Structure 1
């Protein structure tokens, strides 16, 4: 019985440690720099003129990320004129056979940066666990504060079946300087393989 109690306590402590990993809502997000497919360095601080930055952890190999790609590109173009900057970050670059390469990133012709998180330092810093997973950062006097993390909407398979557009609602609320009504929705997607 004593062994079982010790095991349960250890399990709970481990679970709480994993739950606390990464940025928490309201946290200031530290500047980071990553390379894109053309080997150009892009930093979060490059976007201090943006009102909001949406960081999307994604992976070209993930079926869920593929389903969301057009939705995210559309959101990016819809909100670009309103001061919203999207950044795609791929934590799966360089994981070996079947993973994305820098050439895969370069092949994507987005109007926003698509960066490689080689070594997975930034995805771990954010606490990202799935692809796609979004993090909405509000620019507050040159410092970015986490306002939302998690799912894009409530229907990854069928865009026409979406009832709740979490990301779109959060962006609208942040741009209007309103309190964010949805702060954390569990992302649906592929688990990020850690190495």
Structure 2
């Protein structure tokens, strides 16, 4: 009997542990997000009253793909901020200048200033939101729609289907999803 109870307890703990490791996906609720910005302040999504939602873009200063998308990300912010869906960039390595000196907060600040970002650029603390949202590569976009209990995840994926900054993408995934919300 003792072995059975122990086995059941072990199984319960294992299943809870596995559930905790599963990343959120479209249709799930993100309760909130609050991280340090390149401006030196904590940016809290719930504290932002005007937006209907947000477009999170996970990007780093040294990623070639991110560099190719910088202008498109700024164009998305310009196009959708006034419609209630501003960009919020997140640097997955921003909190660790020892392990990731070229992608940490000092470089994020340089990038933001150099490019004239009109949106917050946040440092993910210990990959909390990177792992929580299942981000595996940069750049990756996450569209959030504001709800009373947090933020409904509407989309997680690529910005569009063509990373070449000189080419026009055929499928603008983020724009298509945002246009459905508007």
With the length of structure 1 as denominator, give the TM-score of the two structures: 0.74
Structure 1 unaligned blocks of 5 or more: 1-16, 176-195
Q: 2:102 maps to what in 1?
A: 99
For residues 107-122 of structure 1, the aligned pairs below 5 Å read 107=110, 108=112, 109-122=116-129
Q: Distance in 1 between matches of 2:84 and 2:24?
A: 23
CA contact (8 A) 2:61 2:103 kept: yes
CA contact (8 A) 1:136 1:147 kept: yes
Q: 1:144 maps to what in 2?
A: 151
Displacement of 1:42 after TM fit? 0.8
**Root-mean-square deviation over aligned CA pairs:** 2.0
Count of residues in correspondence between the two structures: 158
Q: 1:22 maps to what in 2?
A: 23
Q: 1:127 maps to what in 2?
A: 134
Q: 1:39 maps to what in 2?
A: 40
Q: Distance in 1 between matches of 2:36 and 2:165?
A: 32
Moved over 3 A (4+): none
SS of 1:160's partner is: coil
Q: Which has the larger radius of gyration?
A: 2
CA contact (8 A) 1:137 1:144 kept: yes
Q: Distance in 2 between matches of 1:69 and 1:21?
A: 30
Q: 1:66 maps to what in 2?
A: 67
SS of 1:59's partner is: coil
Structure 2 unaligned blocks of 5 or more: 1-17
